[in-house]
Each structure stands twice: as C-alpha cells, then as structure tokens.
Structure 1
Amino acid sequence: MACSENMFFLIGFFMSGVLACFGQRDLITTMPDRLDVLTGSCVQIPCSFDIPDLHKDKFNSAILLSGVWIKENPYFGERPDRVIFNSSETVNRYQGKITGNMSQKNCTTVFFNVTTSYSDIYYFRIESKPFRATDPEKSVYIDVRDLPSSPIISVSGEVKEGTPVSLNCSAFAPCPEHPPELTWILPTQFTTENQLHKNTDQTISVLSTMTFTPSYLHHEKNITCTAVYPVGTSNKTAEHNMMLNVSFSPKDTLASISPADSVSVGSCVNLTCSSTANPPVTNFTWFQISGGKTTQVASGLSYTLNVTAGDGGQYFCEARNSHGCGKSNEVQLAIKGQEETVNTMVFGIAAGTLGVLLLISLISVIGWRRNSRLHDGLERTDSPQGQNSPVGTVCTNQATAGEEPEEPAEDQPEEIQYGDIDFSKLQTKEIPAAAQDRVQGQESEYAEVNVTGRGAQEPPLNNLDGLYAQVNKTGGC
C-alpha cells in the first residue's frame, strides 16, 4: 500500500512539473519575496493560495487539507529531506504551525526558534485527496540574522519652521507575537502614537508617528528612532539617525562696514550683508537712512561706494528667500567734517533739553514757595491773635450758633453775597475817615472768611500780596 501511495505521489508530482513547464500552474500562491528574521526569534510567513480554473473541480475545501513547506527546491522527489514541515505530521524538522484557515485558502505559517540554518528559499504545497499541487514559481527567501534591520524614518510633507510636521518610524515585526518597541530622540518636545501596521505584502510592521513643531534651530540636527526587539530573555536593538532639513526665513542677518571709522569724501567704503536661511538667500537689498528718510540704494551681498557728501548716515540690509525676509542691524557711515556738525547738533539738542528741564524745575520751586507763603499767611489768621479780630469772631460765631446768614442788601457788591458778615450789627453813622477804615477792615474780614471758612476758590496769585496785607492789617487791629 505504501509503495502504491508513493508511486501515486511521484506521478502526480511529475505531472505537475510537466504542466508547469508548459506554463500551467496547478497552484497559485501569494507570499512575500523576502523576510528578515532574528536568530532565536520566530518568523511569520503571510501566505494564501488559489486553485486555477482547470483544477477547481478537483479541489474540495471541505476535505482536510495539509500544508507542506519545501526548502531550497520545489522538486523533492529525490530529496525528501527538503520537506521541512507538513501540517499533517506531529514531528517536523522545523517547529511551527499553520495559523491560517486552510479551508479559506489561508496558509499563513509561523516557525519558532529560528536559527541561521533556516536561511534559504521556501515553496508551499497543498495535499488532499484527490488534489495535490506545488507552486514552483513563487517562493519566499528567509534571511536569518543575529542583529535586526534598522528602522526606517520617513517625513510626511515639508519640514517648515513654525508648521507642525509628522515623522514616521517603521520597524519590521517578523514575529508579531513579540513586536519591537520604538522610541525617539529629538531635540524638542514631541508626541508619539504607536500601532501595528499591515503592509501590502501582508507582513507586519510597527509604526510610530511623531509630531512636533520645528524651529530654525532644529535645522541640521539629528533625530534618532530606536527599535528594541525582545528575543528570549534579552533584547536586540537597532536604530536609524536622520538629519533634519528645516526650511526657514533668513535669520541672524548682519550688516558690516569697512572701514568702520569715519572716512573722507572720495574714499572707498564696502558694506557686506550676511544671513542664515534655508533655502539660501536669493536677494540682498541695501537701504540708507538719512534725514529721517529711508531710501533703497543697492542690491547684492556687498555694496561698495565712493563716498560723496550725501552718503553719510545709517545703512542696513534685508535678506530674502522664498519663506520671508530678515532685517539687519544699522551701521553708521560717518564722513569727516560732517561729524562736527552732527556733534554740535547733538550738543545743542541736549543743552536745550537740559534748559527746559531746569526751567520747569524753577517754575515748580517758585510755585511751591508761593503756596508755602499762602499757607503760612492763612495759618497766621487762625492764630490766637487772629481770634480777637472780627474775622475770627464771625467764623466762630457762625460755626457755634449755627445761624443762617441774613440776606445782604441788594446794593452790595456781588462778591459780598458769599460772606458771613452780619451788616445789621454795624454802625451806619461814622465820620468819613473812620467809616472808610471800617469798610476796608470788613473787606479784609470777608476775604479771610471766603478763603478759610467757606472753602471758596483761591484768589489769583497776583492778588495774594493784597490779601496778605489785609490779613496782617486785620490781625494788627
């Protein structure tokens, strides 16, 4: 029985080979072309198959299928040792299992404890009754290494100053049960998001997306993505370094002048502009500031001129690229013979400013002294000597008795309407001289009451001397 089965197997294999030679494929498999694997780890081979129309009537998915992996060469008639795995067998050369659903034409397989001897080409075969077939035109190359492959860094879009950008780091996960862990090293703050990613060939990768906002200071700085693979009780590490290429407008724009000292009319002066930008500066423009007016005078990295009398003043440059422009500092072009005029003007302005300040200070002192004199005079009217005067008596009586002031006569001056003087108690018949003195005394009394007793506005400064004279006269009475 065993001989007849082997004979049937060999005949079937021979017919498959003959049909393959004539361009007929009995089995069509899909798998990656290459897999890089770590020593001691596992490897998952994504695999699927299909049956050509010619043999679909022979294939029955309801029947238990066996998956077979063949190493080095699909033709194993004379070399049965090339068969390294058969899912129907309990003991195989390679320890593994088919994780896919064969009835759904999924032949994904995992091999464990991979060693360097596993590095080779592998073909897939299915066996069932009555259909058996191998795909000799499709294989996968497994490369077993002691060190992992470096992760891959990619950039989505332009890295531009001030604009958030995302960088992707991808590391192949040949053993999805133990995927690598990805970490970033970057000279700025960032956020990350990690996830498993299925590639177009059905292999699995770990994808880490890092987002940050670049600055021109990050230009030509290195970033690092590190992949750490767990293998048994240890780890294996691989990393990828990349230099950032940040686009930014001109920075650190600087203007210089040579010679820097004052020059004579007719001499040669050279001005130079420098700037840092990415992409490089495409246009330099020079400006002169003279008499408070800014004028564009030249273009180019350098500006050379034979000095004339009108060239004196300040100069600056602007550097521009596709992302913007940067303005430089201002440099002074001093011409001999003109600097004395400039110094004189500066001295005159400074002296004038100082004079104005002194004048303001002097006016403030005079005002303060006058105010002090006014307050001193008012305080003297409130002294004990002033309390014996009619003014002190009127102010005290009104405050003590709380009586309302009587209406003044209609023929009195308007300013007396605000006084507190009781004219009904005054004598009306006086000799002319005495009456005149008494009226003057009462006017002094009113002036004092108007200032201190009623809170009226202060008299003008040009009347203060008269007020002081009246106060002194009243106090002396």
Structure 2
Amino acid sequence: MSLTARGFVVFLLSTQVVQGQDDWGVTYTSTEICAVKGSTVEMRCSFTYPSRWEGSVTTVEKTFWFTQKEDGERVDLTAVSVYAGRVEDRCENNICTLRIKNLTESDSAEYKFMIKTNHKGGIYTGSPGVTLSVTDLQLKVSRAYSDQAELKCQTSCRAPDINSYIWYKNGEELRTGISYSRLVNFGSADIYSCALNGHENHRSPSVYAPKPPSVSVSPSAEIEEGSSVTLTCSSDANPAANYTWYKEETSYSSILNEEPQLVFSSINSSDFGEYFCTAENKMGRTTSEKLFIDVKYTSPMIINITRLVLVLSPLLLVCLWMRKKKASCSTTEANEPIETVELDPFSVYEDVSDLNMVSAEQTEEPEEQEDLV
C-alpha cells in the first residue's frame, strides 16, 4: 500500500502491522518510509484497547509518538526541541497521524506509538514501529559523447514508479513522468536538475560545466628570483572540476601539472612567461585568461654580498656594542674626581721663627756674579 499526496515525498513498504493482545493493539499503515530531505512525511496508525481491564472501565489518558527515552521515560515528540515547529500529532476515532515537515537526515529513526490509560501499568506500545529514512536527491552524470551526457536522478528511496521524475534545463521544466535516467545534449552554459513528480520544491543539486576559471598569484608583489610563488586556479562547477596548468611556449603549450595550484619553491628568471589553466568535468571544459609572470633577476654577486651582509651583521652589531661599552668605561675613569688635601701652613713648622726664616730665604735677592774677562 502506498501513500502519495501532493506536498509529500513518501515511499511506503506495503505491509500492515498489528501488535496486540487481549484487545490491546496498534496497527501501522506501513513499517518503512523513505522520504527526500526537505519534504514532508506522514505516519499513520490505528489503535484498540479493552473497554474494561482488571474489573474496571478503561479510559485513554494520553497517546503520543516517540523515538527515544529520557531518564527511562518515553518522550513525546511534540515536546522535543529539534522537532519544534515541524511536528504535528493528530488523533481522531482511534486513528492517529504524525506529520513531520522540513525533513532532515537526522530525522531518520524508528518511530513508535504509545497508549496510556487510567489503569496502573495500563501502557501499551506498538512495536516494532515505523522506520523513517531521509535521503538527498542526487543527479549523477556519465559522459556519453563530446556534446552529450547521461543523467541519472538517484535516491536511496525505492520509488514506486520509475516514471515519476521531472527534468529541468536552465530552470525550465522539460518533461514530467519520465524515467530517472536520460541522455541530454548540453552546452557550456546549460544547467540541469531533477525532482520527483509532484515535489518540485525539492529538486536535486544542479549540475553544470565549469565556469571560466579565475587565476591568482601569491605573493602578488614583485616576484624576485629564488622566492616561493604559488599560482591558483579555481572554478565554480558541479561535479567538481579537475584542473590542469599550462605554460604558453612559442608554438605550443606545455602541461605543467594537473592540480589546482602550481607551486614554484624557488622561482628562476627562466620561469617568466604566460601561464593559464583549464577546468574540466563531465559536463564540459573551460579555459582561464593568461597570466604573465615577470621574475626580477638578481646577479650572483649581489646575492653573495647580501648573504655576507646577513651573516656579518650580527657580528658587527656585537662589536659595536662592545666598543661602545668600553668607551663608556674609559670616560668614566678619566672623569673621576682627584682627591685634594689642604695643608695647614703652620702645621709643618715648629714655631713662627722657622716660618720667618723661610720667608726671608724666599725674598733674598741672588748675589751678582762678576763678569769673567
């Protein structure tokens, strides 16, 4: 039995399950549901219970759906934060429906229905429950010819009808009710996607050829010989693009590597020239604009002098520091104050007569010497 309604992406295993004893029971419409991410799903069940149990009338106090326990107690989904605003539980005439919208892959779980009555121990759970699997819709590409590709709209869900797919080209619907696989002609600007019939709001990711690649160089400043340089090629593409780097020669283009980046660990002056890259996937191939690389040449003598300066600079700084320190010490010694001693002029003479004698000797004029004939 399958349930199909507009606004739902649901595939059901056509099996009814009845669990019960002594008139207790839960009947699930299906035991397996597979739905596409972002869609809405409904799980439905009916339940029965005895009108009297253990000599007293039975009344239902609560029914709810759950997936997990907390502190040993089953938790009502309507009270779980991750389902807030997305889940709705409706019951009428012993038929209950759980509706979940905006499905995420984390919603994949086993859902069970539980009945609580007024009796002590009057709890009944329908087990096993309903297994929900949430999956993405994917568009796979196989290259057939130079201008053709085989597209396959795939999901892990088992679709009830293989003619239930919609194909889109550049946002416009091609046809409905066709197979999950088709061969298409494509151009470099064409964009394809697919969806399940009736569920246009949940399309697969689009596939398209690579957009014209952009190229960049790092560092972007002047490139000097011997420095490290990286060229990067990038493009928007789905499936992801494969990249190839080329150097433009006089009469041909030589392939350098097949990576997004071209790295020169120590670039040479002979590496100057024009470079470009290509981006390719199964939908097509595009080429970037050319990038000119100019390498500034530095002579070996300048390189050696530069290296010598780099080596000697620390030694020169140390010598200057030591010389400055020595000069500072010498200046300090030369400027030290000279100790002077004041003598009492009377302390070296025994009495005043001695002082007068010295004074007389100092004032006595020298004798005149006769000239020799």
User: Fold match, TM over 0.5?
Assistant: no
- Could you say which structure has the greater relative contact order, defined with CA pairs below 8 angstroms and 6 or more residues apart? 2
Q: Name the structure with the higher strand share.
A: 2
TM range, smaller chain: 0.3 to 0.5
Q: TM-score, normalised by structure 2?
A: 0.32
